[in-house]
Each structure stands twice: as C-alpha cells, then as structure tokens.
Structure 1
Amino acid sequence: MNHDIEHALAAAQENLQAGRLDDAAGLLRGILASVPDHGEALSGLGYIAANQGDHARAAEYLVQASAHVSMSMDQLNFAAQVCQLAQRHDAAIALFERCLTQFPHHAASLYGVAMSLIQLGELQRALEALVHLCKIQPQSAEAHYNRGTLLGTMARYEDELDAYQQAITLKPRFVRAYVNLGVALRDLGRFDEALLQFKKALSIDPNDAGARTNRAQTNLLLGEFEHGWREYEWRWRDGTCSHGFPQNTLWTGTQPIDGKTVLVHHEQGFGDTLQFVRFVDRLSAAGAHVVLRVQDALLPLLQNYRGAAEVIGERSQVPHFDYHIPTLSLPFALKVRAPDLALSGPYVQADGALAPQWDDLFTGSVRRPSVGIVWSGSRTHLNDHNRSISLEQLKPVFDANADFFALQPDVRDSDRACLAQLEQRGVLRDVSGRLTTFAETAALIARLDLVISVDTAVAHLAGALGKPVWIALPFMPDWRWQLDRSDSPWYAKARLFRQTTRDDWTGVVAALRAEIDALPGPDNGEYLPSIEGPV
C-alpha cells in the first residue's frame, strides 16, 4: 500500500474515533481522488454517510466497496442493512446472500434477506428463508411470528394461525403475537375468538395500542359503536401517526363549546374526511365557531361547507382555537350511535358552475344509464391488495347496456392495456385526465346516474353527494361497512356488493353486471337505480 494512502487511512481512522466525521471524510475522499476504487476508503465514507443519516449515499459507497474489498460477515450485514434503509433491496439481497454463502445458518442474514425479498414481492423465496430460520432457531418466538405475518400476506391463513400459536407457546406473554392472531381470526370471521386474543394481549399489557385499536375496529365492524368509538382513540398512541396539536386542548365532548373556537382537522385519507365531515354542523349547532381543516385536494369542494365558519387547507396557517378535534374522533366526542348516522339527503354539494365542462359526455341521442366506475384505490393503502380489483376482472361489467366513464384518478401500468382495449371498443370512456380536483369529480358525478366503486374516496364522495353508489367490498371489509348487509347506515343510496369467497371477485362482478342489466330502460325516464333488496 502506498505510504501516503496508509498514512491518510490512519489519520481518517483517528478522526473517526474522535468523532470528527467531516475531517475523516475529507481524508478518505483524498484517497479516492488518486485511487477511485479503494475499498477501505469507500467503506469508510459509507460508514460516515450512514452515521450522518444519508442512507442513499452510504449505500452507494458500501456497494462499491463490497466489489473491491473483502468484507467480514459483520461488514456485509451492515452494508446490507444500510441498503435496506436506502430502499435498495436488490443490493441488500446480494450482500446478505454473500453472508449466507459463507455461513448458511446465519440468523441475521436469513431474516434480512427475507425482509428485502418481501419488499420486492418475492414472497415464496422470503418464506423459504424464514422457514430455514425457524428450523435453525426452533425456540425463537420472533422467527415464528415473522413467518406468520408473511403467511398471512400469502393468503395461507390456517398456516398463519399456526405460526402465531407456536410463537405464543414459546413466549406466553408475546403481546404482538396475540394481537396478530386476533387480527387473523377476525379476518376469517371468527370474531369471538379474535376478541378473546385482544383481551389476552391487554391482560398482559393494558396499554398496548395495537390491541386497543384492533379491538375497537372489530367492535365497530360488529356495530358495537359505544365500545368501538371509545377505544378507537388509542390510534394516536400506536406510534404510527400524530396530529401535532396539544393534548390539553383536545375536545373530548365534555367541555362546553358555546362561544368557543373549535378546530376540526383532517386525518387519514380523503374518504375519511368526506365521510366524517358530516358531524361538523353539530358543533356549530352547539354554539361553536368551527374552523375546518381539510386536505388541500378537498378544499375547493368543501370551502363553503355548512356548519363551518371557516375552511382552510393543510398548508394554511391555523388560527387561534380553544379546542381541537381530529375528524374521526367526532363520533366518540358526540356519542354517535347507529341511529345518528342516517342523513335524509346529501351533505356535500357539487359546484354547479363546473357542470358545463362535462356537456360533451352527454350529447348522444340514445339515453342510457351513465355509470362512473373506479376499480382501484391508493397503492399506498395498507389494505390495497384486498380492496382493489384489476380492470381485467371487471370486463364483464362493460358488456352491459350503459355508458361507462372511468373516474380512476391513478391508472396502474397493469391496467393500461385493458383500458386501451375497452376504450377502443367504445365501452369505457376514460375521463380521469380531466379530473384534476375533487370538485371537478363531484361536478361529473352529479350528472351521472350511478357510481360503481371499490372502497375508496370516490365511493364516499358519491355517497356524500347523495348519488346512488354501488360499492364492491372484499370478504372482510373495513369496519365502516359492517357485516351481512347490502345497505349502509352512512349513505342512504349506497348498495354493498360483498365477496362471498376471500380474494375472489367473480361473484361481485357477476352481481354488478346483473344489477346494471336490471336498470330501467330508455322508456322509463330517470335512471335512478333501486337501493332495495339483498345483494
């Protein structure tokens, strides 16, 4: 090794140990200026970047270093974990596999490679790694727990239950395993057993937010609103979200609000805001000056919302307030029960000034039912794989005698070929490119006869507008749709079309097609679909 480089490396190491990271980095970059592929300098810069929280740059240095220098097992694992933090899972897998080539039973590498494989959707390979991990560490409750989580993702539900039960046998006070077991049982429709698992978890740790919120959602699904709303407040304690407002000014329904300013602020998704904004006018009726804060995308639609003295966007400055409350906490604070959900008419209004921009869609001489359709929701939603439908699966619907309009705000690459084919056949018109705001979508929906949607924001928008909306639901729906009913207490003109077999949309698509075929013909005037009868 060149003496100058050796001296620079020693000085860099000394600076690192003293915490002088910038000085160390300067010396290491000096080495790279003369020897661009110097493995030790690259590795050192990767360590510094990781220490500074720049995982993308750290991963780049460490991947380069791994190609030019022999790394120990610990060094390979560190580099792989940095790559995971940088979302470079292909590189992480390659580094973990180098470890496993030398040490096939290395537990940390088996776990790490499984987690990256999951991120890339290679679930079977990930399961093989976790099964191997469970074989070499049969007494590891965590290993069986992680295997159970993956099995659930793979729709191997009975195996999932078995894995959680093995974890609990090995670690009887394993709260997370009880919670996941409860969720898995709930998703199989075994509600009493699910509630028992949540109860067991809470007997070990009464403050476990995961057990509380999952029990809340289960009770809400079952229509047990009093217990459900109260425990749903634990969602703020699970570490996944924060509203950023002081706890001491949270309105809980007990403080008088006559003459007070109450900030009602959005949380979660667009659909949640559209669903729960209905309760705002109850605060103004109690004498409150209500400031409603909504997502910017909803601001044009809700800017004149009834009961709100002022409506602001998420980037607007928040005015002084006496109390605040998250939107989904309103039912708890207002002690909402099932009979309180029903509304006699629409509570959101479309802007009539936007209606003429859709005139070109309704110029045909033959009047047929006009149907807006949405087949998938946000890709980032945790339950998206269950609630969304591929456009290919919906193709039988478009053979019905109706005019279909795609209200899909985000067309996935996997659906584009099918969409192009349906457009070419003239059975589906894609207007999504013209739907730049919820206000524009509302103006179009107001002119349609019917909206068909999966469980996403457009379904709530149509319901809030008082439009007939048919909602396609997975076998185990979100709690707000409850069970064993084809109507909804939330929306008077909603019909619910439910999977009868988990992960199988065939029956739902057939039912939708049959109901569209049963809509009134052109001689019957208005095309207002019936909302009566079971589905």
Structure 2
Amino acid sequence: MTEDSKDIIEQDLNKAINFLGQNKFLEAESICKEIIKEKDNSDAYHILSSIKLYKQEFNQSIELVNKSIEINGDNPGYYVTLGCAFSASKDYKNSIKAFKTAISLNDRVAQVHFYLGESYRKLKKYNDAIASFYRTIELSSDHVAAHMLLGLVYQEKKQFDLSIQSFKKCIEIMPDYPEAHLNLGLCYLLVGDYENGWREYEWRKKLTKTPHDNLKKEWTGQSLDDKTLLILHEGNENLLHFIRFAKDLHKDNCKIILQCSNEAMKLMANQKWINEVVSEDSIPDHDYHVHIGSLTRVLQCNPNNLSQEFPYLELKNNEVKSSKKDKLNIGVVFETSRDSNAHDDESIDEEIISDIFSDTHNVICLDEKITIKNLPTLYNENFNYTDLYELSEFVSSLDLVITVDHLLAHLAGALNVNTLLMLPCVPNWRWEITHRNTTPWYKSVTIFRQETPGDWKSVINKIKEKIEENNNV
C-alpha cells in the first residue's frame, strides 16, 4: 500500500470518527465498509463495532471488534470496546477478561479500571470491585462515579460508615449531584438516621419531572388551618407508606387533595379524611403543595418514636373472600417488581420454596404477573385484581401474607394483616437495618433477613417454622 493510499484511508477514518461523534451512524458505517472492501482494517471494524454497541446489537459488536483484535491485538481500545459489549450483554466474566487485557496493555487509563470494577460489582466480587475503584481514584481523584460505586459496594458489604464517607466525597467533588445526595440519604435511612436521611432524601425531586407551572407554594410546615393542601403522587409504594402522615393534617381544618394512580383511586377515595382524589397529572386549585415522600421531612418523623394507629387504611366492606374456611389462607408473592434495579436480589426462585406448604394451607398467588394459565404447582389458586381496593379487601380477609419486598408488604402492613416479609442481606432503605425481625413502620410485619448475600434457604427454613406456629394458633 502506497503512502498516498495510507493517507487517504487515514482521512476517511477521521471522517468516520467525526460522523460517529455526531451520531451520524449511516455515514460512518458507509465509509468503514468502503475501506474494508479494499482491505481489512482494524480501526474500520472497531468503528463498526462501536456503532453496533450504540444500537445495542451486542453480538454483532463483539464479532466486529474481535476482527479488529485479530488484525491488531496490541490496541487496548479494542479490548475496552469488547469489554463494554460483553458488559452490556451482562456477560460480566468475559467483560472482566477483556478489561484486564486492556489494562495489561495500558494500566494508566482510569476509566478502564472503573469499567472493570463495575463488572466485578455486578458479579458481587466486592473486594475486587473496591480495588478497581480505588485504582480508578488513584489515577483520577475526582472520578465521581468511582466514589459513587464505592459507596454502593460498601453498603452491600454492610460497611455503612465507609459508604456514607464515599457518598460525601461525591458531594464534595460535585455539590449539586442529586444521585449522590439521594444515595447518601437512603444509606442514612437504612441505618436509622432519619434526621439526615430525610434531608438528603429531598434530592430525589431533582431526578423526577414534576409540572411546576400551576403549583402554588411548597408546604414546609406553615399553618394549614382552613387551607387546601395538594399532595403530589410519587408511586404506589410511597403512597401506601407515607399516606398515614397526611391523616393528622386533616384535623387542622385542612382540605386534603391527593394525587394518585388510577389503580389506587378507589382505595384512597374511601378514606374519609381525604377530601378529594385526583389523577396523578391533575393540579386543582390549592394553597400549598407537598410531595407525599416529603411529609416525613416536614413533620420531622422518626418512626421509632411515633405512636401509630393500625390499620390506617379503611375499607367499606370487609367481606371474607378467602375460599377455604377450613384451612390457613395464605397470600403469597415471591417476585418483586421487574422494574426494580434490585429485582434479582429481592426475588426468590420457586424451587427453593416448593416444600414449605402443606395440605392444611390454601396458598393463593397475589402476583399480578401470574395468571391461572401459568400458575405454579405450589399454589392452590390465584387472585387477579383490577385495583388496590379490590386487592385490599381480599388481603384483609387472609390469615397470613408471605411476601418479598413488594407493594403487597406495604398494603398488608397498612391493613394490619399478619405478614412475613423476606428481605435480602442489605434491603431497601424502608426496612431499617438496626431492627432485626421487626419494623417501626408496620406492627403486623415480621421480617426474615438473609444472613449472607443470596442465602434464601435459611430464610425459607425460618418461614416454614413460622407457618407451623400459625397452624398451631
């Protein structure tokens, strides 16, 4: 190949890179394919791989970048792209191999150590992840994401002081970083520091889009006597968890208007102390507004010091709908929301739970994702509901609820139904870690926590013992 030809290829590759940077993928792809027609070129294959990675076509991305590596195995950038493609396809073992190869060729790039640490974190190899994140910080001391993930890893290891320290370092570097403030708040709440926790929890509002045009002044503790308070929706779990705190506000001659989902509309409309229930995007006339998750901050709530009444949700009709009066009726959910980032950690494989029930139990599936057509054999029946009011009526008639961290736990707790809650080693912030088997949020909920990450068997064995106790009552 002549020097002129090399120069032309170099110019074309630069054009392709510029198009790639502008997200003009068709143009970049066209140039690279023309280059490859003449002769295989590692950089052209690499650009094509990057395009496929952006388009989430991971297998094709891996195939193309491997061609780059076949031509030139000494370019660390190719291995970084390979590692990112493996990581994006959740093949973390191979992403680790690729990132380590890139580091063996050049160990001075902070971002590659960060990628390696994240792959280790995904595999729960926390000590290796910590080492990678510290190496990232050694090379780039203000690498905010590395400090952030260090905080999350330390939290998973129950080293909460170090977790808090890492989140604070994020904030020191970037004071207005909402995710760092929120994670710091959630860690504080998990360890029972409610004063600091509620303050930092307010940063969640920076991460959600709330229409502000028609909102009046935010309620921060002003007198509500003869005023109208609009409580803004923040999801059904927050609704069920925090709505109890709005009840006392009604006693101050305050008119309560509540935003909520269609699913919760009937249940909330049945609460006599709520004056009006509106859809989650409706903003009727009001004097003040408050996000439902901010009530605890304004009211300075610490659940450990509160005198609470249960149940705090009312139902018009409390008809028994459980079908087997001669058996212990148990409502069950073993899979948490599939939208949850913690889905895999919080859900339980059905194989582990197959033998905890007996003929004396009527086991009812309350998982909305399961129908009679795909009902596992461990259940006797399922209950499909159209809204939370219908579910509430049914749950209130059960003898026992057994659930993972799911909306059902909050609903059953609010209705004061006997509930066994199964949690991972480090749970969601709502289930304060300083309480072993209880929660200050719901007096009818008994908690069973993993001793070590991923160990559901010991939890299930304790649940089995508890079910037998219920049989004997």
TM-score range normalised by the length of the shorter chain: 0.7 to 0.9
User: 2:408 corresponds to which residue?
Assistant: 458
Matched residue type, 1:380: D
Whether contact under 8 Å (1:373, 1:408) holds in the other structure is yes
Structure 1 residue 500 corresponds to structure 2 residue 466 = no
Spell out the pairing of 1:197-346 with structure 2 (5 A cutoff): 197-237=166-206, 240-245=207-212, 249=216, 251-267=218-234, 269-314=235-280, 317-339=282-304, 341-346=306-311
1:321, 1:75 → 2: CA distance? 60
Q: CA deviation at 1:280?
A: 1.9
Q: CA deviation at 1:340?
A: 5.5
User: 2:9 corresponds to which residue?
Assistant: none
Spell out the pairing of 1:407-446 with structure 2 (5 A cutoff): 407-411=366-370, 420=376, 422=377, 427-432=378-383, 434-446=384-396
Alignment equivalent of 2:108, drawn from 139, 156, 159: 139
2:201, 2:357 → 1: CA distance? 40
Q: 1:347 to 1:124 in 2, by over 3 A?
A: same
Q: CA deviation at 1:78?
A: 5.0
Deviation string, structure 1 residues 11-39 (Cα, Å, up to 9, x no partner): xxxxxx9xxxxxxxxxxxxxxxxxxxxxx
Whether contact under 8 Å (1:341, 1:490) holds in the other structure is no
1:109, 1:301 → 2: CA distance? 56
Matched residue type, 1:345: F
Spell out the pairing of 1:163-178 with structure 2 (5 A cutoff): 163-178=132-147
Q: CA deviation at 1:261?
A: 2.8
Matched residue type, 2:300: K
User: 2:427 corresponds to which residue?
Assistant: 477
Structure 1 residue 114 corresponds to structure 2 residue 83 = yes
Whether contact under 8 Å (2:268, 2:274) holds in the other structure is no
Whether contact under 8 Å (2:219, 2:288) holds in the other structure is no
Matched residue type, 1:477: P
1:253, 1:85 → 2: CA distance? 44
1:67, 1:352 → 2: CA distance? 74
Whether contact under 8 Å (1:283, 1:307) holds in the other structure is no
Q: CA deviation at 1:431?
A: 1.0
Alignment equivalent of 1:189, drawn from 147, 158, 168: 158
2:261, 2:242 → 1: CA distance? 13
Q: CA deviation at 1:77?
A: 4.8
Matched residue type, 1:318: I
Whether contact under 8 Å (2:218, 2:290) holds in the other structure is yes
1:308, 1:227 → 2: CA distance? 30
Q: 1:90 to 1:67 in 2, by over 3 A?
A: farther
Spell out the pairing of 1:331-370 with structure 2 (5 A cutoff): 331-339=296-304, 341-350=306-315, 352=317, 355=319, 358=321, 361-362=323-324, 367-370=326-329
Deviation string, structure 1 residues 49-84 (Cα, Å, up to 9, x no partner): 965xxx9xx79x98x979996786665555444444
1:218, 1:187 → 2: CA distance? 11
Partner SS state of residue 398, structure 2: coil
2:400, 2:262 → 1: CA distance? 27
Alignment equivalent of 1:489, drawn from 414, 433, 440: 440
2:64, 2:314 → 1: CA distance? 56
Q: CA deviation at 1:291?
A: 1.7
Partner SS state of residue 320, structure 1: coil
1:182, 1:205 → 2: CA distance? 15
Q: 1:520 to 1:411 in 2, by over 3 A?
A: closer
Structure 1 residue 375 corresponds to structure 2 residue 334 = yes
1:95, 1:350 → 2: CA distance? 61
1:66, 1:500 → 2: CA distance? 58
1:183, 1:462 → 2: CA distance? 30
Structure 1 residue 124 corresponds to structure 2 residue 75 = no
1:350, 1:209 → 2: CA distance? 39
Spell out the pairing of 1:3-42 with structure 2 (5 A cutoff): none
Whether contact under 8 Å (2:76, 2:101) holds in the other structure is no
Q: CA deviation at 1:111?
A: 3.3
Alignment equivalent of 1:406, drawn from 353, 365, 368: 365
The gaps in structure 2 that reach 5 residues or longer are 1-14
Alignment equivalent of 2:352, drawn from 371, 393, 408: 393
Q: CA deviation at 1:311?
A: 1.0
User: 2:119 corresponds to which residue?
Assistant: 150
Matched residue type, 1:204: I
Partner SS state of residue 308, structure 1: coil
1:511, 1:349 → 2: CA distance? 32
1:458, 1:475 → 2: CA distance? 20
Q: CA deviation at 1:488?
A: 0.9
RMSD over aligned CA atoms reads: 3.4
Matched residue type, 1:243: T
Q: 1:260 to 1:93 in 2, by over 3 A?
A: farther
1:306, 1:69 → 2: CA distance? 74
Whether contact under 8 Å (1:233, 1:329) holds in the other structure is yes
Whether contact under 8 Å (1:400, 1:516) holds in the other structure is no
User: 2:130 corresponds to which residue?
Assistant: 161
Whether contact under 8 Å (2:227, 2:253) holds in the other structure is yes
Partner SS state of residue 147, structure 1: helix
Q: 1:458 to 1:69 in 2, by over 3 A?
A: farther
User: 2:57 corresponds to which residue?
Assistant: 88
Alignment equivalent of 2:468, drawn from 506, 517, 528: 517
Please report the TM-score for the alignment, with normalisation by the length of structure 2: 0.85
Partner SS state of residue 355, structure 2: helix
Whether contact under 8 Å (1:137, 1:143) holds in the other structure is no
The gaps in structure 1 that reach 5 residues or longer are 1-16, 18-42, 525-535
Whether contact under 8 Å (1:178, 1:198) holds in the other structure is yes
Please report the TM-score for the alignment, with normalisation by the length of structure 1: 0.76
Residues 503-512 or 288-297, more deviating: 288-297
1:247, 1:227 → 2: CA distance? 30
Partner SS state of residue 363, structure 2: strand
1:284, 1:101 → 2: CA distance? 71
Structure 1 residue 448 corresponds to structure 2 residue 365 = no
Q: 1:66 to 1:439 in 2, by over 3 A?
A: farther
Q: 1:149 to 1:305 in 2, by over 3 A?
A: farther
Q: 1:88 to 1:399 in 2, by over 3 A?
A: farther
Partner SS state of residue 425, structure 2: coil
